[in-house]
Amino acid sequence: MMLSEFLAKEGTEQKLAGLILFLSKQAGVVKKGFFSTCMNTGACGTRNMFGEDQKPLDKYADEVFIHALQESRLVRYIATEEQDQVIEISGAQNDFGVVIDPLDGSSLLDVNLCVGSIIGIYPGHVLEKGKKMIAALYILFGPTTLLVFTTGHGVHEFVRCENGEFALRHENLKIPEGKIHSPGALRKDYLAPHARWIECLEGDGYKLRFSGCFVADVHQILHKGGVFTYPGSKGKEAGKLRLLYEANPMGMIVCEAGGAVSDGHKDYREIKPKTIGQVTPLYIGGRKEIAKIETCMKEG
């Protein structure tokens, strides 16, 4: 079953379905950029709002999504990891707001590992709690190009065909029991409760799997079980990953798949962001692993 047919079968609201289909078509445009920029995987000499060096493909993917959405006028608000302010589209057809990490994991481009695009959709402005998000999706560029999405009615995975359309691969994904952990940050900088939690996981036989691409690592956990974390650490107690562009969209998907998310103390989707660049400590994956870190944090 193709994505358009699936959305119709599920009774997805027409304007939302149209936006999801429109965003899926940008996957092919972004993919084309891989070939035009593959000889230049170094930095552009510019930095994003977080002070990170931008790759040519970071900027290309950002331009693809922004230009397409501006031309279509399907949304009113756009916030991306590569821009320092929210873009408001004049004459928008809908009040949707979208948050986008145009190319997560771009530091891996020079070694040809998986990268992806992460997108969240709100019914209005983007500076809202993650729990107000009405849809989330990611596109994973690996050996195959995959699209995983939810509108709050299960998590579904599609694979891109030769004609550019997406065909259903897995319906109603659920996180299984598994023993994978993907821990970010340096061990020497772990805070004590987090360090104890990691020791518990390792003592229980969890295997470390960490690629450096958030969306790829969470995709693996979605299929194989376990937990991903990028915690608060010494000198970076507020965390590193972006609440709007990374944490909230992936959090919606994982929770819809039967998992859980936390900042170590609570579901971070309850946080109303103060700025578009807000970061958070992040734990995402199976419910028992998330419950355990919250216990460790309470114990101090």
Model pTM above 0.85: yes
Per-residue pLDDT of the chain (300 residues; tens, 9 = 90+): 999 999 999 999 999 999 999 999 999 999 988 876 555 555 545 555 555 666 788 999 999 999 999 999 999 999 999 999 999 999 999 999 999 999 999 888 888 889 999 999 999 999 999 999 999 999 999 999 999 999 999 999 999 999 999 999 999 999 999 999 999 999 999 999 999 999 999 999 999 999 999 999 999 999 999 999 999 999 999 999 999 999 999 999 999 999 999 999 999 999 999 999 999 999 999 999 999 999 999 998
DSSP string, the chain: -BHHHHHHHTT--HHHHHHHHHHHHHHHHHHHHHHHHTT--S--S-B-TTSPBPPHHHHHHHHHHHHHHHHHT--SEEEETT-SS-EE-TT-SS--EEEEEEEETGGGGGGT--EEEEEEEESS-SSS-GGG--EEEEEEESSSEEEEEESSS-EEEEEE-TTS-EEEEESS--PPP--EEEE-S-GGGB-HHHHHHHHHHHHTTPEE---S-HHHHHHHHHHH--EEEE--BTTBTT-SEEIIIIIHHHHHHHHHTT-EEESSSS-GGG---SSTT-EE-EEEE-HHHHHHHHHHHHH-
**Which CATH fold topology does 180-299 show?**
D-Maltodextrin-Binding Protein; domain 2 (3.40.190)
Chain region(s) in the chain for CATH 3.30.540.10: 3-170
Chain region(s) in the chain for CATH 3.40.190.80: 180-299
Q: CATH number of 3-170: 3.30.540.10, 3.40.50.620, 3.90.1720.10, 3.30.230.80? A: 3.30.540.10
